Chain A
């Protein structure tokens, strides 16, 4: 491996170590299912409503249910005020979130109905779509929706040929070195990748290596998600 100029991370974090994670289920009482997922200084809340009747009626599908995801950053969640309402960015993330979750949700059990997932970010410091997917997948399970498995998500990156897991905001904004940020989502049991995006430049070898590095981290996140769901029903 080439020697990298990037040889130390903030807070003595290991290159293959994620930021501290906190996960809780059932945080929004009104919703049918909900969850909170925090990774470092990024916090996502997800609420699931449904299955419920889908209106307008022409969107209904008699063969299967419909999954609707909505990703939203709150105005105070970043240093710069985020203009409320849908933006090009939030629409894109809503769409990729939906596609990341679709392979595990058994929507055929809910013909003509819709499952709504609302993801709100109260605090963002990189990796917000990954935190959103983790929270959404827990919220879906908490809502009793039938699904083959849960989805866990984290970002990996390559900073000057050094592979790092779970970039924070500072690392994402490094300008004097090449930075690639790769948000990933995976179904832990089958290792099927359901989200793969990339921002920056990276070679094929390094990309494949980064995917390998992410796997154990994703499996650890999956464990935390499961533990949080079980915690809700303890005692």
Chain B
């Protein structure tokens, strides 16, 4: 057997069809496949080498539903047994009656009392099937219907950057603007607060989205927020 050899470097951008490694010493993970003794990328992404496993982290593309993700959905249809939500993906999610609320829903009750068409709801994905049927729940901490505020769409792959390490980035914006902010893993974000502050928060999020690859972004965002709000921000010395 030949020795395994990595052809590209860790953290490189790879494109579909690019040979990542030769030989049998590596294993193909997500976003890669094996063709005889070569491992090849099958989507555009950032290569990560995790021990012997090679995988690509996607940089672009639609949201693919994943179990336990907290997302924001829009009610697009009301069914016999629940609600259908648009979750900004190729597949809609279903919120069944029993997972919608803690209160008792009588048989034949008017479901619009709980969620009306075009309402936005924070939900958590409970299950995704092989056919990408998505089940969600609205029972749990921080899961609820959204009232007021505004909704914006961001690139789903930039969501981790917007949230930051342990939520550092988003809490910075929250502190500076006094807005309530929820960012769903599917790239839908909700912001509610003083109208002027909402605009500042939106701009800050758009800035993070555009410059997600820049290092020292936290400081930049802090400067931006201080300038925009005219308030001095205390630095949390934990990063």
Contacts and interface: CB of A to CB of B under 8 A. Distances in A.
Interface of A: 32-33, 50-53, 62, 104, 106, 110-113, 141-150, 187-189, 222, 225-226, 229-230, 233-234
A150 B15 contact: yes
Contacts of A230: 13, 15
B40 A149 contact: yes
B17 interface: yes
Given A52-B62, A189-B17, A148 B40 contact: yes
A142 B62 contact: no
A193 to B, nearest CB: 16
Interface residues of B, number: 26
Contact of B43 (A112, A113, A147, A187): A147
B17 A188 contact: yes
A143 B33 contact: no
Nearest to A233: B13
Given A141-B16, A148-B17, A33 B42 contact: no
Given A111-B130, A222-B17, 19 more contacts: A51-B90, A111-B132, A112-B132, A113-B90, A143-B60, A143-B61, A144-B58, A144-B59, A144-B61, A146-B42, A147-B16, A149-B16, A150-B16, A150-B17, A188-B17, A229-B13, A230-B15, A233-B13, A234-B13
Given A113-B90, A233-B59, A144 B43 contact: yes
A225 B16 CA distance: 11
Nearest to B16: A147
A151 B62 CA distance: 22
9 contacts: A50-B62, A53-B91, A112-B132, A113-B91, A144-B59, A145-B43, A150-B17, A222-B17, A233-B213
B93 to A, nearest CB: 12
Given A53-B92, A144-B62, A233-B59, A149 B44 contact: no
B160 to A, nearest CB: 16
A230 B13 CA distance: 6
Contacts of A149: 16-17, 40
A148 B16 contact: yes
A32 B60 contact: yes
B31 interface: yes
B131 interface: yes
Contact of B61 (A32, A53, A148, A222): A32
Nearest to A147: B16
Contacts of A33: 60-61
B69 interface: no
Nearest to B19: A189
Nearest to A230: B13
B31 A146 contact: yes
Nearest to A187: B17
A145 B61 CA distance: 7
B18 interface: yes
A174 B196 CA distance: 66
A18 B10 CA distance: 34
